[in-house]
Amino acid sequence: MEPMRISGAVSGIDTDSLVTQLMAIESRPVLLMRQRLAALELRRQSWQTLNTHIYNLQAKLAALIKPDTFDRTAVTSSNSTVATATGVSAVEGSYTVSVTCLAKAHTIASAVHASSDTAVGVSGTISVNGHDVAVSAADSLSDIAAGINAASAGARASLVQTAAGEWRLVLVSNTTGSGGQVELGGDLPALQAIGLVDEAGVTQTVQAGQDAALTVNGLSITSATNVLSDVLPGLTLTLGAEGTAKITVTRDAGAVTQAVTDFVTAYNAAIDFINAQLTHDPESGVAKPALYGESSLRRLKASLRSMATDPVAGLTGSLRSLWQAGVTTGAAGSATAREGKLVVDDAKLRALVASDLEGLKKLFGAGDTNVALGSAGATITASSEVDPLAPAAPSVIDGRTDSARWGSEGGGWQDATAGSYPDWLEIAFAGTRTIDRVDVYTLNSTAFPADTYGIRDYSLEYWKGDAWATLGSGSGNEAGIIGHSFSPVTTDRIRLTVLASNGANDHSRVLEIAAYERNSGVAGRLGELCRSFTLSGSGLVDAADRSLGRQVRDLNSQIKAAETRLESRKEALQRRFISMEQALSRMQSQSAWLAAQISSQFSGSGTSGRK
């Protein structure tokens, strides 16, 4: 319990104020630590904000390395009432669709009843498509409809009021087309009482099941449904009315331009944040930004700019840098150029979607680049060849993977040493390449299946400058395509070694080997840069956050310890001043007592003299 005290009661000194002033002086180190703590927290928040910007940029870049972004198509209909089509990866072209009749569902209607909720007065069992529905004398049309629907009989029952006091039970087949007939059975009297069949037991059909009939570019087609998914490649065609409509499929330039615009927007937002952190006017009176002077931010900005604007190495087409695709820093001397931001020429980009889509895909990194092609400068050697023409080793790097061509010129490779292993194929690239995937196509067709004629056991290697190193291997393979993905390696050649084949185990047979260069397009390399910052555990932002987190924890511990010491110091000062007041109080008491004694003695002496 804090001791009771009255400040300056004896001394007249305001000891509470004096303690407060003394503690303010001794608390300055804690105040400085709290200011430093606030600065650290602000730096931490700023790194997290940067991480959000970079992560958002990374997400937009991810869309640009998806082939689907570039392969998306736009579909229009000249008469959407007649027909529409949907699909994002359809084949470009136009289709004239003429609908003669729509697919319709078999429909049955009962006789007229005066009410939907009064008892029909019949009992028995009716059957709808083989599903029995019990009917009692107390059941109304509504009850019977509910019973049919509960039976999930392949037909939907509903009530239709055709006029005042006139209700009919309607059954509609769940399946359109001529094959979707609703079959009624069970107790004939019950069906007749409801009016679903006539006196002769004939079903009261109001609409027969009917197939859709149409032509597409003059070719006749029939369909049990009005939704056709196997007529137009990559499209689902939906019929709505009789008539003619022209379906047009074009490349969806908007999907590409939107993805590029989204990337540029995210890029510019990141650059704006970095610029704000690196800019400070000493004369403005405004405090420096939290990350001002951070060298890693300057490096990030420089890397972002160079990776966005430098040409992409290895591209052979006309598109090798973003400015050729209409993405630039703007006019020389413009604000965007000074700030390091990007602008998009939408018209130029749309024109390239129409004229050089594959070039755009490779520029951004969405198109796979097979560096093991003879047309890309690669060469191949083999341990042996059964025939120098067919099947010969050079056909393994011609880009063709159809097993049906086996045995013809360019139809694949077969070694010349039956039953003797290992056999090998070595592919030399046109220079050093960084690859992260290799696909091997072994013989696999109806006549020559992979589980009988394909390679079974193998190893895949790359040359690392002084020795071969393993990329992958397999045993017991029976698949026609063998794919291996791995961390990027830089090399000038790869080698496939066949250790055993399937079936008779006599020859090694390979159709094609494809080695894919690491995604080195603009979006791919920017994405790798972003990952180096945002990756949890090893990313730069995460490392900065951990470091700042440790400093925050250390400072909090130091502040807590200092505050504990200050509290003890304050209590010690207060005890000293209390002791001082108590001592002064005792001295005053003693002084008063002494004065009283002296006074009483002097008073006694004066009286004796007068006597």
16-64: pLDDT as tens digits: 777 777 777 877 877 777 777 777 777 778 878 888 898 899 999 988 8
Q: What average pLDDT does the chain have?
A: 86
pLDDT of residue 264: 96
CATH code for position 445: 2.60.120.260
Task: Match 């991810």 to its residue by tokens.
Answer: 62
386-413: pLDDT as tens digits: 876 566 888 899 888 888 777 666 578 8
Number of H helices, E strands in the chain: 13, 24
CA-to-CA dists, residue 451 to 219, 441, 475, 479, angstroms:
41, 13, 12, 7
pLDDT of residue 390: 61
The parent domain of residue 221 ranges over 73-102+212-251
Asked whether residue 263 falls in the same domain as residue 338, the answer is yes
pLDDT of 8 > 70? The answer is no
Asked whether residue 132 falls in the same domain as residue 88, the answer is no
341-379: pLDDT as tens digits: 999 999 999 999 888 988 898 899 886 778 999 988 999
Residue 540 inside a domain? The answer is no
pLDDT of residue 346: 92
pLDDT of residue 537: 58
Asked whether residue 325 falls in the same domain as residue 468, the answer is no
Comparing 145-149, 284-288, 387-391, 545-549, the range with the smallest average pLDDT is: 387-391
Among residues 161, 160, 163, 164, which one has the least CA distance to residue 172?
160
Q: How confident is the model at residue 10 (pLDDT cuts 50, 70, 90)?
A: low
Average of per-residue pLDDT across 477-482: 88
Distance separating alpha carbons of residues 515 and 518, to the nearest angstrom: 10
Residue 7 inside a domain? The answer is no
Q: Which of 477, 504, 519 is the C-terminal boundary of a domain?
A: 519
Residue 49 inside a domain? The answer is no
Tokens coding 343: 């602008």
Average of per-residue pLDDT across 252-257: 88
pLDDT of 174 > 60? The answer is yes
pLDDT of residue 33: 77
Higher pLDDT, 73 or 589: 73
pLDDT of 156 > 80? The answer is yes
Asked whether residue 511 falls in the same domain as residue 401, the answer is yes
pLDDT of residue 128: 95
Higher pLDDT, 330 or 538: 330
Q: Which of 304, 337, 364 is the C-terminal boundary of a domain?
A: 364
The per-residue DSSP string of 146-207 comes to HHHHHTT-SEEEEEEEEETTEEEEEEEEEEESTT-PPPEEE-HHHHHHHTSB-TT--B-EEE
Comparing 271-285, 328-342, 591-605, the range with the smallest average pLDDT is: 591-605
Number of domains in the chain: 4
Among residues 98, 122, 100, 93, which one has the least CA distance to residue 110?
122
Asked whether residue 128 falls in the same domain as residue 94, the answer is no
Residue 602 inside a domain? The answer is no
426-439: pLDDT as tens digits: 999 999 998 888 99
Check if the beta carbon of residue 325 is closer than 8 Å to that of residue 318. no
Average of per-residue pLDDT across 548-560: 75
- Quote the strand ranges of 353-467, DSSP E: 379-382, 413-414, 423-442, 455-463
Q: What percent of the chain has pLDDT over 70?
A: 93
The per-residue DSSP string of 510-564 comes to EEEEEEEEP--SHHHHHHHHHHHHH-TTTSHHHHHHHHHHHHHHHHHHHHHHHHH
Residue 354 inside a domain? The answer is yes
DSSP, collapsed to helix, strand or coil, labels residue 70 as helix
pLDDT of residue 9: 53
Asked whether residue 382 falls in the same domain as residue 515, the answer is yes
**Dihedral angle, C-alpha 534, 538, 543, 545, nearest 10 °:** 50
212-239: pLDDT as tens digits: 999 999 999 999 999 998 898 889 999 9
Asked whether residue 88 falls in the same domain as residue 235, the answer is yes
Asked whether residue 138 falls in the same domain as residue 196, the answer is yes
Distance separating alpha carbons of residues 564 and 30, to the nearest angstrom: 11
Residue 535 inside a domain? The answer is no
pLDDT of residue 611: 45
Asked whether residue 123 falls in the same domain as residue 138, the answer is yes
Tokens coding 551: 């400093």
Asked whether residue 448 falls in the same domain as residue 508, the answer is yes
pLDDT of residue 605: 59
Asked whether residue 222 falls in the same domain as residue 88, the answer is yes
Distance separating alpha carbons of residues 247 and 240, to the nearest angstrom: 14
**Dihedral angle, C-alpha 391, 393, 395, 399, nearest 10 °:** 140
Asked whether residue 138 falls in the same domain as residue 162, the answer is yes
Residue 449 inside a domain? The answer is yes
Tokens coding 104: 């319709």
pLDDT of residue 411: 77
Residues contacting 460, CB < 8 A, separation 6+ = 438, 440, 470, 471, 472, 473, 484, 494, 495, 496, 497
pLDDT of residue 224: 95
DSSP, collapsed to helix, strand or coil, labels residue 330 as coil
Residue 474 inside a domain? The answer is yes
Average of per-residue pLDDT across 476-488: 87
Q: Which of 193, 223, 251 is the C-terminal boundary of a domain?
A: 251
Higher pLDDT, 282 or 178: 178
Helix axes 522-534, 357-364, angle to 10 degrees: 20
